[in-house]
């Protein structure tokens, strides 16, 4: 059995005791306002797959890692709370073991904040026994008018089946406890924080004002944002993006200030922009071709703006889009793109003519939905496709493309829809001329122009 850190695992098995090494895991604890003037503490933690130790299945069908978390909250000598739990990380693609982009992320939340209280969390890799200990004092923040600041890779509405614990309301906040960002994967650093109103228990709308100042490592201001708004509750939850496109690599300091004239009305944190060491996620060699492929899946940037992007900006847009799309469909980005690449290659083999198959109409439908459950092929005028038309009748009905091939793709297992393609030039360049029950796919032609004015549309459904 060959897998990462095999020697260390054998020592555990045969000797039984091994000195623990530091586990590479990012952890941070943040204070937020909770109801009844309590302080809620969110501890976000994440670990890259290549920093975990996986045990490969005997049949090489996948691998499993485990992370044990031991929690203790104390006040002096008194233990206020103690628990432990284990988390499994299961992968089905062995290449993911060395991934620097895939990560296990979780959150532990509680409200034991009080002067003198201390949190201690021990993280243990269950295969290697490597450990990491995180400690945090737990002061209340009731004397402040601004919470701690959480930094996120992105904030979006998405599929709640994944990262349920990272949602606040309808939005997924993808926390980044390492505070290291890459311009290839993020166009902005997304901040989440809370502001409190003039009267903590007031139910009357209040206007809030805040500013965000960003300085570089030389304490020079590189960005400044002022915003205002109205909130119905006494605590306003704010999400604010900071564009990092123009920033070079290095450390940056953020100061967020509640601009009402109070003490304790500001909070600061920092983040870094680093060289990207992860993979590039493009499927096609040409970045402009990749743009067209992303358009299939809903990428909304206009072609005019895309053409004006620098190459670095295009690569960042591509990485960001595929990462977010794969998250929305609840798949690791490497897994999703592996399947997508197979579809593109199949489309190129089957549907190429004077242009590559992935860019053809049939290639697009295959890439989006996979192989159809049923394919029917006909010639215009065939008995089983149109009725018994003789040539003169076809001309009368204006079926001017008699004896040209068309095919109907029907999907019945995962959806109920059909797509009809017409081979106008008889060179495998089938054009999509009819769609049934899929409002997201449009056609630019009227099928009657190809089949005749009296053609029975029901035959194409």
Nearest Cα neighbor of 81 from 105, 106, 113 is: 113
**pLDDT confidence of residue 75:** 95
**pLDDT confidence of residue 447:** 83
Contact, 28 vs 135, CB < 8 A?
A: no
* Mean pLDDT, range 251-257, rounded to an integer: 96
Distance separating alpha carbons of residues 65 and 48, to the nearest angstrom = 12
Distance separating alpha carbons of residues 26 and 251, to the nearest angstrom = 17
Q: What is the rounded end-to-end Cα distance, in angstroms, of the chain? A: 52
Residue 164 has pLDDT above 60, yes or no: yes
- Under CATH, to which class is 143-278 assigned? mainly beta
DSSP structure class, residue 146: B
**pLDDT confidence of residue 161:** 64
Distance separating alpha carbons of residues 12 and 9, to the nearest angstrom = 5
Contact, 357 vs 347, CB < 8 A?
A: yes
Residue 392 has pLDDT above 70, yes or no: no
> What does the DSSP assignment read for 33-75?
E-GGG-EEEEEEEEEEGGGS--EE-TTSS-EEEEEEEEEEEEE
Q: Do domains 1-30+38-141 and 143-278 have the same CATH topology?
A: yes
Query: How are the residues of the chain apportioned to helix, strand and coil, as percentages rounded to the nearest 5?
Result: 25, 35, 40
Per-residue pLDDT band for 143 (boundaries 50, 70, 90) equals confident
Of the ranges 111-115, 139-143, 381-385, 434-438, which one carries the lowest mean pLDDT score? 381-385
Domain boundaries, given as residue ranges, for the chain: 1-30+38-141, 143-278, 287-369, 374-460
**pLDDT confidence of residue 399:** 46
Per-residue pLDDT band for 454 (boundaries 50, 70, 90) equals confident
Q: Write the CATH number of the domain with boundaries 1-30+38-141.
A: 2.60.40
Quickly count: other Cβ atoms within 10 Å of residue 63's Cβ. 23
| Residue 118 φ then ψ, to 5° | -135, 135
**pLDDT confidence of residue 401:** 52
> What does the DSSP assignment read for 278-330?
S----SSSSHHHHHHHHHHTT----HHHHHHS-HHHHHHHHHHHHHHHHHHTT
Distance separating alpha carbons of residues 334 and 102, to the nearest angstrom = 8
Residues 6+ apart with CB under 8 A from 139: 31, 39, 113, 114, 115
How confident is the model over 304-346, as pLDDT tens digits?
999 988 887 888 889 889 988 887 787 888 889 999 999 999 9
């Amino acid at each position: 059995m060959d897998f990462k850190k095999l020697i260390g695992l054998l020592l555990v098995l045969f000797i039984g005791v091994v000195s623990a090494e530091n586990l590479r895991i990012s952890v941070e604890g943040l204070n937020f306002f909770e109801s009844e003037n309590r302080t809620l503490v969110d501890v976000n933690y994440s670990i890259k797959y290549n920093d975990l130790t996986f045990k490969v299945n005997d049949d090489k069908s996948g691998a499993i890692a485990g992370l044990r978390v031991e929690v203790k909250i104390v006040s002096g000598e008194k233990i206020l709370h103690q628990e432990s739990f284990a988390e499994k990380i299961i992968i089905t693609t062995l290449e993911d073991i060395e991934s620097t982009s895939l990560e296990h992320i979780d959150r532990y939340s509680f409200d034991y904040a009080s002067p003198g209280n201390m949190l201690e969390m021990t993280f243990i890799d269950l295969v290697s026994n490597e450990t990491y200990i995180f400690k945090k004092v737990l002061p209340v923040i009731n004397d402040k008018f601004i919470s701690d600041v959480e930094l996120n890779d992105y904030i979006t509405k998405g599929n709640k089946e994944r990262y349920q614990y990272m949602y606040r309301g309808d939005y997924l906040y993808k926390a980044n406890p390492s505070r290291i960002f890459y311009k290839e994967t993020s166009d902005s650093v997304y901040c989440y924080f809370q502001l409190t109103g003039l009267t903590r228990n007031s139910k009357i709308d209040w206007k809030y004002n805040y500013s965000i100042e960003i300085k570089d490592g030389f304490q020079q201001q590189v960005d400044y944002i002022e915003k205002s708004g109205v909130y119905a509750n006494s605590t306003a939850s704010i999400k604010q993006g900071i564009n990092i496109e123009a920033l070079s690599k290095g450390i940056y300091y953020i100061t967020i200030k509640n601009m009402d004239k109070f003490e304790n009305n500001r909070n600061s944190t920092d983040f870094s922009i680093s060289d990207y060491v992860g993979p590039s996620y493009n499927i096609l060699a040409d970045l402009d071709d990749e743009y067209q492929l992303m358009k299939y899946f809903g990428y909304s940037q206009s072609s005019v703006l895309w053409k004006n992007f620098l190459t670095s900006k295009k690569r960042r847009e591509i990485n960001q889009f595929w990462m977010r799309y794969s998250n929305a469909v609840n798949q690791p980005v490497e897994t999703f793109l592996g399947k997508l690449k197979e579809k593109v290659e199949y489309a190129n083999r089957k549907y190429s003519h004077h242009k590559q198959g992935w860019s053809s109409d049939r290639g697009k439908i295959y890439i989006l939905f996979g192989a159809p459950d049923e394919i029917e092929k006909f010639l215009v005028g065939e008995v089983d496709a149109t009725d018994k038309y003789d040539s003169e009748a076809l001309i009368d009905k204006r079926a001017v493309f008699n004896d040209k091939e068309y095919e109907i793709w029907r999907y019945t297992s995962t959806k109920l829809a059909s797509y009809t393609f017409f081979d106008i030039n008889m060179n495998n360049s089938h054009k999509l001329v009819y769609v049934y029950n899929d409002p997201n796919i449009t056609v630019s032609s009227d099928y009657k122009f190809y089949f005749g004015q009296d053609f029975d549309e029901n035959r194409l459904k």
